[in-house]
């Protein structure tokens, strides 16, 4: 990457196209997800080397629970294997791990693996890797709204104290800056219920490349494209 100025502080990625990648090669979808996990590992290393402070990966949406049971079961096993395997490597790289979403729906063994990974990397001061798992933007907004309503009912909040900052502090992403750049692979041009509140002024980058084929070089091209944009925030 030639130009390293104006690197986005927070990059979010919708990792789409694992199934299409596998179908194009007459492979089972599980192979696409496995290859996609390998791509994620490479992109995490690349983002860290480039100086990105926050990287959010959309791994499994709240709508993905509607997929065939066997596929969901295999994905849960893959997530647990990946988190357990990569925990030490990420910790050695001083990377902090956070997981956001409705984690109550996850299998117990996966929840245990997530808790260990989050706790063991909590003191790391390098890049923060946020994994969106069982995540839905609308569900997150409802969750925040219910928290705020409870504060109001308990007399801990006055109506005039409700601000954007307060609302943001009740989201799963509290203490995480809004994404500067959101990348989606596989040719789909929508954000699919991902970081709806947080993406109000996010720059978007769409590519036809399926996620398993998304290379560090193409990632750098997305960052270079971001650097050409002028962000006015409505001014």
Active site residues: 16, 64
Handedness of CA 24, 25, 28, 31 (dihedral sign): negative
- The neighbour count for residue 37, using CB atoms within 10 Å, is 21
Closest CA to 96 of 115, 123, 57, 59: 123
DSSP line for 144-167: HHHHHHHHHHTTS--GGG--HHHH
As a whole number of angstroms, the distance between CA 18 and CA 78 comes to 13
Question: Please, is 228 exposed, middle or buried when counting C-beta atoms within 10 Å of its C-beta (0-12, 13-18, 19+)?
Answer: exposed
First to last CA, the chain: 30
Residues 6+ apart with CB under 8 A from 46: 216, 219, 220
What tokens appear for 48 in the block? 């860290």
- The neighbour count for residue 175, using CB atoms within 10 Å, is 9
Residues 6+ apart with CB under 8 A from 54: 9, 10, 11, 127, 128, 130, 176, 177, 179
Measure the CA angle with vertex 185, ends 192 and 96; round to 5°. Answer: 80
């Amino acid at each position: 990457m030639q130009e390293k100025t104006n690197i986005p502080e927070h990059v979010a990625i919708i990792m789409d196209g694992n199934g299409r990648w596998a179908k194009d090669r007459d492979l089972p979808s599980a192979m696409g997800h496995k290859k996609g996990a390998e791509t994620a590992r490479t992109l995490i290393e690349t983002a860290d080397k480039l100086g990105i402070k926050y990287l959010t990966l959309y791994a499994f949406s709240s709508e993905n629970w509607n997929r065939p049971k066997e596929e969901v079961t295999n994905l849960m096993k893959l997530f647990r294997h990946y988190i357990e395997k990569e925990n030490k490597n990420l910790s050695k790289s001083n990377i902090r791990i956070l997981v956001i979403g409705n984690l109550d729906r996850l299998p117990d063994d996966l929840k245990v693996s997530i808790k260990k990974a989050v706790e063991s990397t909590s003191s790391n001061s390098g890049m923060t890797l946020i994994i969106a798992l069982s995540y839905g933007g609308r569900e997150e907004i409802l969750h925040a709204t219910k928290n705020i309503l409870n504060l109001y009912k308990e007399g801990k909040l006055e109506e005039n104290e409700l601000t954007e900052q307060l609302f943001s502090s009740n989201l799963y992403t509290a203490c995480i800056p809004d994404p500067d750049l959101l990348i989606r692979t596989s040719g789909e041009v929508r954000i699919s219920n991902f970081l709806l509140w947080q993406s109000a002024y996010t720059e978007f980058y769409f590519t036809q490349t399926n996620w398993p084929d998304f290379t560090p070089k193409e990632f750098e091209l997305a960052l270079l494209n971001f650097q050409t944009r002028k962000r006015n925030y409505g001014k």
